[in-house]
């Protein structure tokens, strides 16, 4: 075959093969889909105080531990953990392992076990606007620490501990528009590895208006716009490199603005 013909054939092959080599989604997003609803936006202004890594443990305990939420910036370095949480790597390492999904309502009872690959390929999608939270499956917590232990060992949690508590991890992945409606429990931290997560919080003495079986997205669209200014939640959006701390018994609801990979440290 003549050299010119060979070059032409090579160019044709490259045109076919190169698109196959390009990731479905950008690698800077970990290969996860940064898909968002036009109606799902960041808050107009963040009402959670933000502090940097220079904050001392004494200052954290005095100002925030028992009083109010805070966003801590640069307090952890989880670049190595982040590199392990790409879509490609998690499917390679855990694709055939089973994960437990929960319904995304306040009082979650339904549990479904599926292979992780099936969850990522078929169930990880934006929130259906017509679905109730009790009919929406959500991957968060219920982690098998034996199977996923090697991954969690690479995570660096926030350094501040509340006296008398110990930390327990909850790892999750969720599609845009999904989230958990209002609920409360003990104190903890939440860190986003990929994507963005919007938080809505109320202090323990202010029970929010919400339907426990509906989604956070429906609450945002149907109730939030009509709240008087004095009844608005404390709110903000956290991004990779930021950690949200919430005190004991604070009501909170979450909304993933993108497909998000995230991990919480609950202080029990």
152 to 66, 90, 158, 174, 262: CA distances (angstroms): 27, 12, 14, 18, 12
Note the pLDDT tens digit of each residue in 208-252: 999 999 999 999 999 999 999 999 999 999 999 999 999 999 999
Q: What is the pLDDT of residue 23?
A: 45
Phi, psi of 57 (to 5 degrees): -60, -40
DSSP characters for 106-155?
A: SS---EEEEEHHHIIIII--PPPTT--GGG-EEEES---TTTSHHHHTT-
Q: Around 105, how many Cα atoms within 13 Å sit in the side-chain half-sphere?
A: 16
Q: Which of 82, 112, 95 lies closest to 148 in space, CA to CA?
A: 95
Q: pTM for this one?
A: 0.88
Q: Which two tokens stand for residue 225?
A: 């716009």
Q: What is the pLDDT of residue 236?
A: 97
Q: Alpha-carbon distance 25 to 32, whole Å?
A: 6
Burial of 52 (0-12, 13-18, 19+ CB in 10 A): exposed
Q: Which two tokens stand for residue 242?
A: 């930021």
Residues whose CB falls within 8 Å of the CB of residue 62, separated by 6 or more in sequence, listed in order = none
State whether residue 190 is helix, strand or coil.
strand
Q: What residues does each domain of the chain span?
A: 57-267
Fold (topology level) of 57-267: Jelly Rolls (2.60.120)
Q: Which two tokens stand for residue 264?
A: 């919480």
Q: Which two tokens stand for residue 66?
A: 């028992």
Q: Please say whether the beta carbons of 47 and 234 come within 8 A.
A: yes
- For the chain, 268 residues long, the average pLDDT of each consecutive 10-residue run is 52 45 62 76 91 97 98 96 97 97 91 96 94 95 92 96 94 96 97 97 97 96 95 97 97 96 96
235 to 6, 7, 158: CA distances (angstroms): 61, 59, 21
Q: Please say whether the beta carbons of 193 and 261 come within 8 A.
A: yes
State whether residue 218 is helix, strand or coil.
helix
Q: Which two tokens stand for residue 190?
A: 């939440």
Q: Please say whether the beta carbons of 86 and 27 come within 8 A.
A: yes
Phi, psi of 234 (to 5 degrees): -75, 130
């Amino acid at each position: 075959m003549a050299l010119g013909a060979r070059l032409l054939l090579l160019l044709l092959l490259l045109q076919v093969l190169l698109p196959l080599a390009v990731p479905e989604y950008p690698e800077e997003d970990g290969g996860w889909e940064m898909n968002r609803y036009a109606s799902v936006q960041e808050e107009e202004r963040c009402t959670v105080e933000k502090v940097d890594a220079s904050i001392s443990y004494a200052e954290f305990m005095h100002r925030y531990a028992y009083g109010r939420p805070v966003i801590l910036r640069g307090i952890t370095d989880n670049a190595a953990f982040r590199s392990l949480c790409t879509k490609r790597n998690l499917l390679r390492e855990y694709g055939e392992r089973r994960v437990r999904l929960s319904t995304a309502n306040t009082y979650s009872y339904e549990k479904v076990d599926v292979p992780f690959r099936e969850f990522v390929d078929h169930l990880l999608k934006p929130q259906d606007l017509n679905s109730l939270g009790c009919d929406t499956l959500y991957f968060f917590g219920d982690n098998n620490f034996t199977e996923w232990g090697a991954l969690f060992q690479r995570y660096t949690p926030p350094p501040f501990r509340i006296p008398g508590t110990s930390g327990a991890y909850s790892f999750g992945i969720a599609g845009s528009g999904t989230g958990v409606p209002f609920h409360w429990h003990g104190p903890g931290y939440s860190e986003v590895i990929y994507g963005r997560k919007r938080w809505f919080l109320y202090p323990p003495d202010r029970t929010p208006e919400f339907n426990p079986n509906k989604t956070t997205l429906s609450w945002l669209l149907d109730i939030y716009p009509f709240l008087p200014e004095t009844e608005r939640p404390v709110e903000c959006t956290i991004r990779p490199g930021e950690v949200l701390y919430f005190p004991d018994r604070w009501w909170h609801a979450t909304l993933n603005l993108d497909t998000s990979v995230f991990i919480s440290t609950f202080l029990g």
